[in-house]
C-alpha cells in the first residue's frame, strides 16, 4: 500500500485533461468487478458526457502530488416521492494501492457535500453484494443497504429490441 500525506490530498472537479486517467481507472474498476468485457466507453464518450455541450454526468478526482488515484462519477436523478432532484453516485473508485486510507470516504463525503449544497432529496448508489469492504464503508458512513430493491437494466440491444406493443 502506497502512503500519501493526508494534508496534501485534493478532491477537485475533473477537467477535460483528466479523461484518459479516468478511463484507465474505470477499466481497473470494470476488471475488479469482473465486468471488463463490458467496458466499451471511449475517450470521446467521456469528453461528451462530462464536458460536452450538454453534460450528463460530473466527476470528482482524488489527487495527490500531481497523480490521480481515485474518482467519483455522479449525475442528477429525480424522486417522484420526494418531489426534487437527487444525486446518483455511479462510481466511487480508489486505486488498489491507495485503499484503506480514507480516500473513498473523502470522495463519498465530497459528493455528499454537493448533494447538500443542491438541496438534493436523495443521495443514492448501488454496491455489489460480494464487495464487503465497500458495504462496510457505506454502512459506516450511514448508508442504508436496501435489500428489497433490485436493479433492472436494458442494455443498448435491449433498448432497441423493446416490443412495440
Q: From CA 15, how far away is CA 61, in angstroms rounded?
A: 9
> 86 with 77: CB under 8 angstroms?
yes
End-to-end, the C-alpha distance of the chain in Å comes to 55
- Measure the CA angle with vertex 134, ends 130 and 135; round to 5°: 70
Q: From CA 89, how far away is CA 47, in angstroms rounded?
A: 19
Q: From CA 71, how far away is CA 91, in angstroms rounded?
A: 8
Q: Which of 60, 73, 77, 59 is nearest to 121 (CA)?
A: 77
In the block, which residue shows the cell 454537493?
A: 114
> 9 with 67: CB under 8 angstroms?
no
Residues forming the active site: 138
> 36 with 132: CB under 8 angstroms?
no
Amino acid at each position: 500500500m502506497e502512503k500519501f500525506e493526508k494534508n496534501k490530498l485534493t478532491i477537485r472537479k475533473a477537467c477535460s485533461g483528466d479523461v484518459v486517467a479516468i478511463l484507465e481507472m474505470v477499466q481497473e474498476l470494470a476488471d475488479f468487478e469482473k465486468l471488463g468485457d463490458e467496458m466499451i466507453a471511449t475517450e470521446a464518450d467521456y469528453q461528451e458526457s462530462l464536458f460536452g455541450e450538454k453534460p450528463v454526468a460530473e466527476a470528482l478526482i482524488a489527487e495527490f502530488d500531481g497523480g490521480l488515484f481515485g474518482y467519483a462519477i455522479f449525475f442528477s436523478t429525480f424522486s417522484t416521492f420526494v418531489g426534487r432532484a437527487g444525486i446518483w453516485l455511479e462510481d466511487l473508485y480508489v486505486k488498489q494501492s491507495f485503499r484503506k486510507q480514507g480516500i473513498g470516504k473523502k470522495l463519498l463525503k465530497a459528493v455528499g457535500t454537493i448533494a447538500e449544497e443542491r438541496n438534493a432529496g436523495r443521495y443514492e448508489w448501488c454496491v455489489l453484494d460480494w464487495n464487503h469492504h465497500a458495504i462496510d464503508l457505506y454502512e459506516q458512513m450511514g448508508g442504508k443497504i436496501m435489500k428489497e430493491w433490485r436493479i433492472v437494466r436494458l442494455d443498448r440491444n435491449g433498448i432497441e429490441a423493446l416490443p412495440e406493443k
